[in-house]
Structure 1
Amino acid sequence: MILMKDIIREGHPTLRKRAEDVPFPLSAEDRELAEELLEYVINSQDDELAEKYDLRPGVGIAAPQVNVAKRMFALHFDESIGEDLSMIAINPRIVSHSVERAYLAAGEGCLSVDRAVPGYVPRYARITIKAFNLDGEEFKMRLKGLPAIAFQHEMDHLNGVMFFDHIDAKNPFPQIDHAIVIGGDTEA
């Protein structure tokens, strides 16, 4: 089980590395890691488990955040936040995206960042993605809103990019024309 002590924090060099593709068939170690990533986000959204194990709530976590530079992450949203999506994405990619942008009104957070970083993080409002599941089967899906933002946040982790790299320090809350504003904030 992944705990907060297993999640590396900003400044750690692994967070700035481009992660490596994961070979198939998955090794037992890679399969276990992918399952543990999903288990973390599910457990972190359960109030009792989060309190018991001192887990910070998150909707996504990427392998580089637990010091494994491999291209995999997990996302989990349940109906309580208006979404219903649970996935492990291995070797994911964005194959198309909208011109329209979206951002979280309250800004983004990250399990690897222990401070608030004010500012808007513009993302694509809608994306079409492809990734592989645990059995090496490719899947394709369209995402919008919060799941699209979280997917892009996790993709950044696989490419050594942190969410605050997208924030203009001189103008952290710019007017973003023709963008969808999504309420609430999230950690990934």
Structure 2
Amino acid sequence: MLLTILTYPNPELKKRSNPVTVITDKTRELVRDMAETMYHAPGVGLAAPQVGVHQRVIVIDVSGDENPELIVAINPEIIHAEGEVFDEEGCLSVPKFSANVRRHARVVVKALNLDGEEITYRADGLLAIAFQHEIDHLDGTLFIDHLSPLKKGIFRKRYLRTVEEQKEFSK
């Protein structure tokens, strides 16, 4: 089932998510729905808070369209990070806006899979960026929160003006 993706400035996006204590059929259903929603959007990652569920669950697929490789990470935690990249990011919760964000170039992420088994991912490139971006969502942080105060102020003005114009246009 397609879920509704919350968009900025919805205050739900700023809430910290709770750890998953037991993986249930409801958790598996959430993951299925999140994956379907992410692929439909289309995006390369989605965190549960983006669909109004404050649990530490993310789905990621940076493989492209041909051979999907869905990563499901429950209670993900970055246990090691190194290097630095400064690259353009976008977000399904901040549509039609992107900005350069500074991130770690490589990360090691520990998480649980849907069977409750601990897994470790060693990631670089787009996958490392996606892990950091989605884990930020679990902590109530959006990629725009990484912008300088000046750039964040410019973003807010432009973005909110665009949202208002869209509302007027759709009337």
Displacement of 1:86? 2.1
Bigger CA drift: 29-38 or 61-70?
A: 29-38
Match of 2:54 among 50, 69, 84: 69
Displacement of 1:80? 5.7
Match of 1:101 in 2: 84
Deviations 1:30-81 (A, max 9, x none): 210012212333x33xxxxxxxxxxx32000010000001000100122569
Structure 1: stretches of 5+ with no match in the other structure: 45-55, 173-188
Contact kept, 8 Å, 1:102 with 1:125, in 2: the verdict is: yes
Amino acid at match of 2:74: I
Match of 2:105 in 1: 125
| CA RMSD between the two structures | 2.0
Identity %: 41
Structure 2: stretches of 5+ with no match in the other structure: 153-171
Match of 2:43 in 1: 58
Work out whether 1:88 is the aligned partner of 2:69: no
Amino acid at match of 2:28: R
Give secondary structure in 2 for the equivalent of 1:135: coil
State the TM-score, normalizing by the size of structure 2: 0.81
Contact kept, 8 Å, 1:103 with 1:149, in 2: the verdict is: no
Match of 2:120 among 128, 136, 140: 140
Summarize the Cα distance change of 1:84–1:33 in structure 2 as closer, same or farther, 3 Å threshold: closer
Match of 2:156 in 1: none
Bigger CA drift: 138-147 or 26-35?
A: 26-35
CA distance in 2, matches of 1:145, 1:85: 16
Higher helix share: 2
Summarize the Cα distance change of 1:134–1:124 in structure 2 as closer, same or farther, 3 Å threshold: same
Give secondary structure in 1 for the equivalent of 2:28: helix
Match of 1:31 among 19, 23, 28: 28
Match of 1:175 in 2: none
Contact kept, 8 Å, 2:76 with 2:111, in 1: the verdict is: yes
Higher relative contact order (CA 8 A, sep 6+): 1
CA distance in 2, matches of 1:27, 1:158: 19
Contact kept, 8 Å, 1:38 with 1:87, in 2: the verdict is: no
Match of 1:21 in 2: 19
